[in-house]
């Protein structure tokens, strides 16, 4: 189905706006390049002098050219071995910003009674801070292993599994819906990369925010210019 441009840089596919935000009960967000302006793994790699190498893998994974996301993330994290935690603090303090319109959109969702979920292939070092900053209800992401104040180049296995990839994002969204006693049709999923497509495919409304081509082709609402609050043009 072809997308319809309803405003410059704002496209809908299979939607008849306006939709009522209050008809939804959950909104799930990707973090890197969605809620925030950076890919954290790339910025950490800069501290190791390996940003170009890591960024190339990240970009290929987000475009869907690398189909094994877990392997791609392990490869990138391995290149971070030896980076001090102080470098992560500097990335958060000096480089990480919320994307335009994020606070307004999250607050609108919260005001309408939606629960908020951050589900990210990124790292708890950043997602815990972003969750607190935005007052989000739930979060799941990956844990970097640290020894003596430095990254080991590995991630820590969690009780639920090893790595948040596209399949885990989908599973978390479905699990939270079940725990809330709601249908996935009452969930909104927001993302930008290929690993967000599985959760976007099960949600009642999928929103692509400055998405990669694969996301722009699938999202019911695609924001390709401006801030995330432009979704409120469709959601009232």
Which residues have a catalytic role annotated?
Answer: 30, 32
Omega cis (within 30) before 18: yes
Distance (Å, whole) CA 43 – CA 48? 9
Ramachandran angles phi, psi of 115, nearest 5°: -80, 150
Classify strands 187-191 and 26-29 as parallel, antiparallel or unpaired. Answer: parallel
Give the Cα separation of 67 and 57 in Å (integer). Answer: 11
Q: What is the largest CA-CA distance in the chain?
A: 55
Task: Indicate the helix (H) or strand (E) that contains 223.
Answer: strand 221-223
| Rama region for 226: left / alpha / beta (φ>0; ψ in -120 to 50; rest) | left
């Amino acid at each position: 189905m072809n997308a319809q441009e309803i405003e410059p840089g704002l496209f809908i596919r299979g939607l008849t706006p306006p939709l009522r935000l209050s008809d939804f009960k959950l909104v799930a967000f990707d973090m890197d390049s969605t809620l925030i302006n950076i890919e954290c793994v790339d910025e950490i790699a800069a501290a190791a002098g390996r940003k170009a190498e890591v960024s190339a893998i990240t970009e290929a994974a987000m475009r869907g050219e690398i189909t094994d996301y877990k392997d791609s993330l392990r490869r990138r994290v391995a290149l971070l071995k030896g980076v001090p935690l102080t470098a992560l603090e500097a990335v958060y303090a000096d480089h990480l910003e919320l994307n335009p319109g994020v606070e307004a959109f999250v607050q609108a969702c919260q005001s309408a009674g939606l629960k908020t979920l951050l589900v990210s292939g990124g790292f708890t070092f950043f997602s815990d801070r972003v969750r607190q900053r935005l007052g989000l209800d739930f979060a799941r992401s990956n844990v970097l292993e640290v020894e003596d104040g430095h990254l080991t180049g590995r991630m820590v296995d969690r009780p639920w599994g090893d790595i948040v990839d596209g399949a885990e994002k989908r599973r978390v969204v479905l699990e939270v819906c079940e725990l809330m006693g709601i249908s996935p049709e009452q969930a909104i999923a927001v993302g930008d990369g290929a690993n967000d497509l599985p959760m976007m495919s099960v949600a009642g409304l999928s929103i692509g925010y400055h998405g990669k081509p694969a996301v722009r082709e699938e999202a019911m609402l695609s924001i390709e210019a401006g801030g995330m609050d432009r979704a409120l043009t469709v959601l009232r």
